[in-house]
């Protein structure tokens, strides 16, 4: 069923990459948005851990491979057009964001500008080194 083109993501509609939203399975908090290609999709389904495609590095990115902040997939959803993926995950570790925050959505837009509303839980320089990305 998961390889049936009628029930799988429509990667052709996104030029081979589709947005994948990671949401905390217990709280509903949106943790991050990344991209998946068909290979990342297959690896995620096979392993039960979130695997994305890094546009910057042009390769698969196994969430938590450097930081240890792994995402265990609890449920997978597709939107009505099959061009957006929603992963309901159990976040192992305190942070989903490579900047050291629980969620990548740690800044709020206000009339005064961007306001940091999240709390940093780790120093990315200590985890990834200078100028490194997970």
Q: End-to-end distance of the chain based on CA atoms, in angstroms?
A: 32
Question: What pLDDT score does 6 carry?
Answer: 73
E strand map for 1-134: 18-24, 30-36, 51-54, 59-62, 71-78, 85-91, 107-110, 113-116
**Residue 111: domain span:** 11-120
Tokens matching residue 97 = 């964001």
Question: What pLDDT score does 130 carry?
Answer: 67
Question: What pLDDT score does 133 carry?
Answer: 54
Q: In the chain, how many domains are there?
A: 1
70 domain residue, yes or no:
yes
Question: What pLDDT score does 1 carry?
Answer: 44
4 domain residue, yes or no:
no
Question: What pLDDT score does 7 carry?
Answer: 79
132 domain residue, yes or no:
no
At 22, phi and psi to the nearest 5? -105, 125
| Bridging pattern class, strands 18-24 and 85-91 | parallel
Question: What pLDDT score does 134 carry?
Answer: 52
Q: What CATH number does the domain containing 65 carry?
A: 3.10.20.810
Question: What pLDDT score does 52 carry?
Answer: 98
Tens digit of pLDDT at every position of the chain (134 positions): 455 667 799 999 989 999 999 999 999 999 999 999 999 999 999 999 999 999 999 999 999 998 999 999 999 999 999 999 999 999 999 999 999 999 999 999 999 999 999 999 999 999 888 655 55
Question: What pLDDT score does 5 carry?
Answer: 64
Question: What pLDDT score does 15 carry?
Answer: 93
């Amino acid at each position: 069923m998961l390889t049936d083109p009628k029930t799988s993501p429509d990667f052709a509609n996104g030029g081979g990459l589709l947005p994948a939203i990671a949401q905390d399975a217990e709280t509903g908090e949106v943790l991050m948005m990344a991209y998946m290609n068909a290979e990342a999709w297959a690896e995620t389904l096979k392993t039960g851990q979130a695997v994305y495609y890094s546009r910057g590095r042009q390769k698969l990115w196994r969430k938590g491979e450097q930081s240890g902040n792994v995402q265990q997939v609890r449920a997978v959803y597709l939107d009505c057009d099959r061009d957006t993926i929603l992963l309901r995950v159990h976040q192992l570790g305190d942070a989903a964001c490579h900047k050291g925050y629980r969620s990548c959505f740690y800044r709020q837009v206000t009339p005064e500008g961007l306001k940091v509303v999240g709390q940093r839980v780790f120093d990315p320089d200590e985890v990834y080194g200078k100028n490194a990305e997970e």
